[in-house]
Amino acid sequence: MKKTSLCILGLLVAAGLSLAEGDAFARAGGGLSSGSRGSRSFSSPSRPYTSPSSPQAVRPAPAPQPAPGSGSPFWRGLAGGMLGGLLGGMLFRGVGGAGIGLMDLLLLAAIGYGIYWWVKKRREEEPVPAEGYYERQAGVGYYGPQLTEGATSTQEPLFQDGDLQAALGHIRQMDARFDEAAFRELCEDNFFKIQAGWMNREVDPIANLLTTEMQNEFRKQLDGLKQQGRINRLENIAVRKVEITEAWQETGQDYITVRFLANLLDYTVDERTGQVVEGNKTDPVKFEEYWTWTRPVGPNPWRLSAINQPD
């Protein structure tokens, strides 16, 4: 029985390795995460900004809270009437010559303290507004649910469009010609060029579009394809969406991360026989990737520094 289990486990591991190898050379970058995002290399790229008009980002109006000292008008009126009547009676006796005695003062103090204690208790027992309303979290840069101490949030941060625009504004300060729409168009053009260089198994024609680290990564993966005698074919590429999700500056470099949503025919053939060994020539593959571009601060050429797969 033990021997049979070990055999099954071995087959499963072999199948997993086979699938991993087959996926390793899918489109530029091998369908893997690679490269550097500077100080953010160990964090996942920001998800696309969600408008506050969407259900998960709506800020519910907090429940109205009673004003300080508020309570039931009926009870406030009754307490005031009792206290006023008592004071009036004491004053009346004082005018008649009886005067306000010590017992009257003690009784007045006791009644006053009783009213104070009763009003305080009523205020403490009034319902507190429901938790979960949205507030600006200090130093975090997103709207999220208010959490009690020790609690954790299961909702992903919603990075604010204003924060992204501020970061792009810093980039624009050092490059007055920077335009967001033109940058997205440039990224799309370079996306097609890089995919073509990958399919041709040549890095030199696209080296000016890649950082040194990405050039080395591409060469390593493409050398693997050549050694196997395989060519990764990419056809009918259609880019559905190009959107900037993150921008920042550090150590004299600009960084911008762009989300690509695209589909294409992605398959690998044997260069000797032309037979398909991985993928499918007729079924398009839809994919999402995050490409990070960098350059020295200022009007300098952008280069691809990282490709990340969504979590």
pLDDT at 135 over 50: no
pLDDT at 216: 96
The three-state secondary structure class of 305 is strand
pLDDT at 149 over 50: no
The residue behind tokens 């071995």 is 10
Under 8 Å between Cβ of 233 and 160: no
Query: Which tokens sit at 267?
Result: 């398959």
| Long-range own/partner contacts, residues 102-108 (CB < 8 A, 24 or more apart) | none
Higher pLDDT, 4 or 304: 304
157-308 fold: Nuclear Transport Factor 2; Chain: A, (3.10.450)
pLDDT at 294 over 80: yes
Largest CA distance in the chain: 124
Interatomic CA distance for residues 63 and 133, integer angstroms: 9
Higher pLDDT, 54 or 29: 29
Q: Where are the domains positioned within the chain?
A: 73-125, 157-308
Higher pLDDT, 174 or 130: 174
Mean pLDDT computed over 258-287: 93
Compute the mean pLDDT over every residue in the chain, rounded to the nearest whole number. 74
pLDDT at 106 over 50: yes
For residue range 202-213, list pLDDT tens digits in order.
999 999 999 999
Query: Which tokens sit at 275?
Result: 């037979």
pLDDT at 121: 64
pLDDT at 225 over 70: yes
pLDDT at 156 over 50: no
Mean pLDDT computed over 80-106: 59
pLDDT at 145 over 50: no
The whole-model pTM stands at 0.59
Interatomic CA distance for residues 118 and 269, integer angstroms: 84
**HEC string of the chain?**
CHHHHHHHHHHHHHHHHHHHHHHHCCCHHHHCCEECCHHHCCCCCCCCCCCCCCHHHCCCCCCCCCCCCCCCHHHHHHHHHHHHHHHHHHHHHHHCCCCCCHHHHHHHHHHHHHHHHHHHHHHHHCCCCCCCCEEECCCCCEEEECCCCCCCCCCCCCECHHHHHHHHHHHHHHCCCCCHHHHHHHHHHHHHHHHHHHHCCCCHHHHHHECHHHHHHHHHHHHHHHHHCEEEEEEEEEEEEEEEEEEEEECCEEEEEEEEEEEEEEEEEECCCCCEEEECCCCCEEEEEEEEEEEECCCCCCEEEEEECCC
Q: Which amino acid is at 101?
A: G
Mean pLDDT computed over 126-140: 38
Interatomic CA distance for residues 245 and 260, integer angstroms: 10
